[in-house]
């Protein structure tokens, strides 16, 4: 699985915002924190607003706020706003002779895609955030004890 850049930026922005649903952050705030391109992120944020995942707040101190339910929104929900998650066999055209090989490879990539989707579809933002926090805690404690 290779996530495209937009999905990755989308996941970063959504996880950042969902970690504290009260906070409002601008594109620049997020881009600076994660050292990512403001230009790319701005496009991603517009898509997230359009799909109702984040809300653009008006007025002083504007910015974006997470608008969904972190217990119900899954990683796949976010990724699928930007890509289909179907493996592609990158062969623009092939002769009839390749059909049996392509069919077999397709059935294998379908098997892989099904498992990949099932994993991403059952990890909610809350579950991912919880794992992230546990991992940072563990790293901190290991650092402290070594």
Partner 1 sequence: MSNQLVIRNALPADLDAIISLDRTTPDADKPDYWRGIFEHYVVKGRADRIFLVAEKRGTVIGFIVGEVRAWEFGSPPCGWVFALAVSPDAREHGTGKRMWDEICRRLKKTGVTTVRTMANLDQKLTLSFLRAMGLRTGRYIELEKQLD
Residues that bind partner 1 in the complex, under the rule CB under 8 A: 74, 114-115, 118-119, 121-124, 126-127, 130-131
Q: Which stretch binds ligand COA (CB under 6 A): 17-25, 97-105, 122-130, 136-144?
A: 122-130
CA-CA distance, 49 to 38, in Å (whole number)? 16
Query: Is the Cβ–Cβ distance between 41 and 31 less than 8 Å?
Result: yes
2 phi and psi angles, rounded to 5 deg: -125, 115
Binder among 23, 26, 87, 126 for ligand COA (CB under 6 A) = 126
Q: Which stretch binds ligand COA (CB under 6 A): 27-35, 61-69, 121-129, 135-143?
A: 121-129
Count Cβ atoms below 10 Å from residue 79 Cβ, excluding itself.
23
Q: Which helix H or strand E contains 57, and what residues bound it?
A: strand 54-57
Instruction: Compose the 69-98 pattern: x for residues touching ligand COA by CB under 6 A, - for all others.
Output: --xx--------------------------
Q: What is the DSSP letter of 58?
A: P
Q: What are the residues binding ligand COA (CB under 6 A)?
A: 71-72, 124, 126-127
């Amino acid at each position: 699985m290779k996530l495209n850049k937009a999905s990755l930026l989308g996941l970063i922005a959504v996880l950042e915002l969902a970690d504290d649903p009260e906070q409002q952050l601008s594109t620049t705030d997020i881009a600076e924190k994660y050292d990512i391109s403001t230009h790319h992120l701005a496009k991603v944020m517009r898509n997230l607003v359009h799909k109702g995942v984040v809300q653009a707040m008006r007025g002083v101190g504007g910015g974006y706020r997470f608008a969904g339910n972190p217990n119900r929104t899954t990683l796949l929900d976010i990724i699928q706003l930007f890509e289909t998650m179907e493996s592609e066999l990158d062969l623009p055209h092939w002769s009839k002779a390749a059909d049996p090989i392509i069919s077999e490879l397709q059935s294998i990539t379908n098997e892989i895609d099904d498992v990949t989707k099932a994993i991403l579809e059952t990890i909610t933002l809350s579950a991912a955030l919880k794992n992230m926090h546990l991992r940072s805690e563990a790293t901190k404690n290991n650092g402290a004890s070594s």
